[in-house]
Structures are given as C-alpha cells and as structure tokens.
Structure 1
Amino acid sequence: MTEPQSTQPEADATEGEPSLLLPPRKPGIMARLRTYFFTGIIVAAPIGLTVYITSWFIDLVDTWFVPLLPEQYQPDRLLPFNIPGLGLIIALVVLTALGALAANFFGQALLTLTERVVERMPVVRSIYSALKQIFETVLSQSNTSFREVALVEYPRLGSYTLAFITSGPRTDLPGLEGQEMIGVFVPTTPNPTGGFFLYMPREDVRVLDMTVEDGLKMIVSFGIVEPSKGGKGKPKPTIPTLNI
C-alpha cells in the first residue's frame, strides 16, 4: 500500500532565514552627510590646530625677541610688511651664542658670579635652583630621564598605567635602605604636564619597548593612538641600570 500524499504544501527550506535576494539598504542622505561631516572634522582638526599652535608660538617668540633689535633695524621700519618667525631666528642665534659663551672660561666665571649673587636672595635662589635642576635633568643629553616608558600598577593592584622613568635605582631612601627603588612619573590623561611622582620597587617597573613620543601620544589620545611599528610596547624582562 502506498502512503497517502499530503495535500499541504512542503515547508520552505529557507523558512525563518533572511532573504538573500533583497539588496542591502543604502544609507539615507542624512546619514551620509553626517558621515561626511565627522570625516571632515577628523581631517581638518589636526591641520587647523597645528597651524594655530605654530602661529601662536611664532607670534609669542616674535613678541619677546624682536624688540631686542635696535629701533632703526626693526622690520616694521625697514619693510612694508611683517616677517613672521624673525623672533624665532633671533632666539636661536641668541641662545646658541649664550651657550657658546657659557662654555668658555670667561662665561663660566661670569655664570658662577651670577649664581653667587642669586644665592644671596632668599626667595629667588629657591626658584632658580629648582628650575635649573629641572632643565638640566630634562635637557641633558647624557641623562636618561624621561627617555624610557614603563608599565606600573597604579592606582591599585591589577590596573596598569604608563609612566616615565625619571631616576635610576636608589638604595638610600630613608626607611627603605637596601631596596632598589626607581623614581617614575605617572602623567594624567589627557594633560601629561600634571601627574604624580612615585618611588616603586625595581621589580614592579616594567620597561616598554616604546619611545617617549609614542607614550605621550597614547596618554593624550586616551590610548586610541597605538605605538608605532618601531616599538610595540612589549615588556622587557629586566630593567637596565640607569646612570644618575
């Protein structure tokens, strides 16, 4: 005997599945305009801010150094138009000449005499001494401060943040004699000029294969900008001894 055939239509094999025959819906005109607008911001904002900050810095330096020229040699008197960046050129020449003067015997003697006079001023000597030490530490070519990026546990265990090594291992800290402690600066986001200075055990500071520039970019951009290919941020197994 043959089984009776069902009079109901066979169920569609693709029932419940989305149809693949309909083309994807194109975004509307407002969605495309919104996309174009934000793309324009991404393209124009870095260029505009770079031009604005550069122009502001050049105008500031011009305001400081152009008045150092004698009045008869002022650009406004000699030329019918302004020369932007003239103060920056004067600043480079003056600072280079000052550095060359301080490098010889006469300049060193004059600098020593000036420092002796400043040391007799109660408030000024503290400001001068602190500023001099900061600039010597940051700008010294033989110093390793702020030239290495590290990963430290902060502000609690289990959470990590970027930090910059500011001083090498020390074993003479009061109450921590014999322990190797490293000075690190933990900057805040997105303004890296503020932050916290910490002494941490050597084993808790992991140096990253990352340049200081890439570290600053990550901090300013909330971690959106990744390190360049030259440094992928891979922790090193050990911390090299720093010269202080």
Structure 2
Amino acid sequence: MKKYIITGLLVWLPLAITVWVLLWVLGLITSVFEALLSALQAVAPLSLHNNLEALRHVPGLGVLILVAALLLTGVFVANIFGQWWLRQWDRLLSNIPIVKSIYNSVKQVSDTLFSSSGNAFREAVLVQYPREGCWTIAFVTGRPGGEVAEALPGEHVSLYVPTTPNPTSGFFLMMPRASIKPLAMSVDEALKHIISMGVVAPSTPPDPARNPKGSADPKGRSNQPG
C-alpha cells in the first residue's frame, strides 16, 4: 500500500504544483486588476460604479486585459512616435528621487536579461563553490565592467549560482574564465537539474570530445567497437 501511495503521489504532485503556481500568478494579476478598478471607482461618476463593480466578477478578465495591454504597448513602442514617448517617460522617471534609482536598476537588468542580442543566462557552466572540490551549476550573466574589471587580473566572467530547490535566489560571483567548465546542456535542462536537486538528469547526449573513442564511460564500459 505504501508503494502505491507513493506512486500515486508522484503522478499527482507535478500537476498539483503546476496548478498551485498558476493560481498564485492568477491571484496576483487579479489583485492588481481589482486595485485598478478601485482607483477608477474613486474618480469615476457614481453612475459608473455599478458597471465597474460588475467587472470584478468576470472570471479571467484581469488576465485578458493584462495580455491586451502588453500587446498594445508593444505595438505602440515599435514605431518612432512610440519610442519618442518611451524616451520621455524614461526621462521623467529618471528625474524623480528614489524612484529613479529603482527604475533605472530594474530597467537595466530587464533589458539585459530579455534582450535578444544579450548573453545573460545563455550558458550553463560548472564552478567550484562554496569551496574547492565542490562543484555546482552556474549561469553566465556577462562580464565585469568598469572599475571592477580593472581591479581583476585576467579575463573574468559574472556568474549567477542559483539555490536549490528555489532558483530565484542565489549568489553573484565573479570568477576567472579559466576556472569554469562549460556545459553542453541547455539552460532549461540545467534548471531542471538544479530544481530537482540532481534527481532529473540532463538529456543532453555526452560529448564525444570529452569521452574519446577507446576510453571507458562512467559505468566502466569500454567504447571500443565490438
């Protein structure tokens, strides 16, 4: 009976966690949507209050409005006129104390992460952390620049070392390029390996260059033909 219960748990657990994450995201979007409706009710005429209140009970309306707003924003800023307004908006927020520090920092990070020409989180590597002899998976986020780069001898790379099982928190490291080992696996496979605490093995086939013909594989079997 214990074996069957564990088997059933393994079947339903991924689905339950997926549904839980989706419900959390939906609840967050719904909360933002309700806050916007409350702000509109505060400034709208009394004759429109009932109509705005009815929108609260429409399921999925907040998600549809969010997707539509993102789509329209993308279309708007894709032309010269929209880019001009975007520059004015950035200039306005950059002149507000406290707000400018948060806004500029978040904007630089988001532009780096989501840029199609950027190299952030495009490469998974092996590094020795937190001490020599202990290896973990990290992601290359770029190269040190400015005063930091001048203070570091040789070529260094910026790394993000995620924690397990929550990869959204981690550590930022700057290490010599020669001290890291590139991996053939994709970033998605590396994340699965990290989140599962090593239980889910990467599906990337082994690199023949790392296991030359005639050498033994990790299970001790020879690669010689026959």
TM-score (norm 1): 0.71
Look up the match of 1:22. Answer: none
For the residue of structure 2 that corresponds to 1:156, the secondary structure is coil
| C-alpha deviation, 1:103, in angstroms | 2.2
Q: Distance in 2 between matches of 1:164 and 1:233?
A: 20
1:118 equivalent in alignment to 2:86: no
| C-alpha deviation, 1:236, in angstroms | 8.1
| Larger helix share, 1 or 2 | 2
CA contact (8 A) 1:209 1:235 kept: no
| C-alpha deviation, 1:130, in angstroms | 0.6
CA contact (8 A) 1:65 1:87 kept: yes
Code of the residue aligned with 1:48 in structure 2: it is A
Identical aligned residues as a percent: 39
* Bigger relative contact order, structure 1 or 2 (CA pairs below 8 A, ≥6 apart): 1
Could you tell me which runs of 5 or more consecutive residues in structure 1 were left unpaired when the two chains were aligned: 1-32, 238-244
1:174 to 135, 138, 150: 150
1:185 equivalent in alignment to 2:160: yes
CA contact (8 A) 2:140 2:157 kept: yes
1:102 equivalent in alignment to 2:77: yes
1:155 to 130, 149, 165: 130
CA contact (8 A) 1:150 1:205 kept: yes
Look up the match of 1:201. Answer: 176
Q: Distance in 2 between matches of 1:93 and 1:236?
A: 49
TM-score (norm 2): 0.76
Q: Distance in 2 between matches of 1:77 and 1:186?
A: 43
Equivalent residue pairs, number: 199
Q: Which has the larger radius of gyration?
A: 1
Please identify, of 165-174 and 104-113, the stretch whose mean Cα deviation from structure 2 is larger: 165-174
RMSD: 2.9
1:34 equivalent in alignment to 2:2: yes
Q: Distance in 2 between matches of 1:97 and 1:225?
A: 39
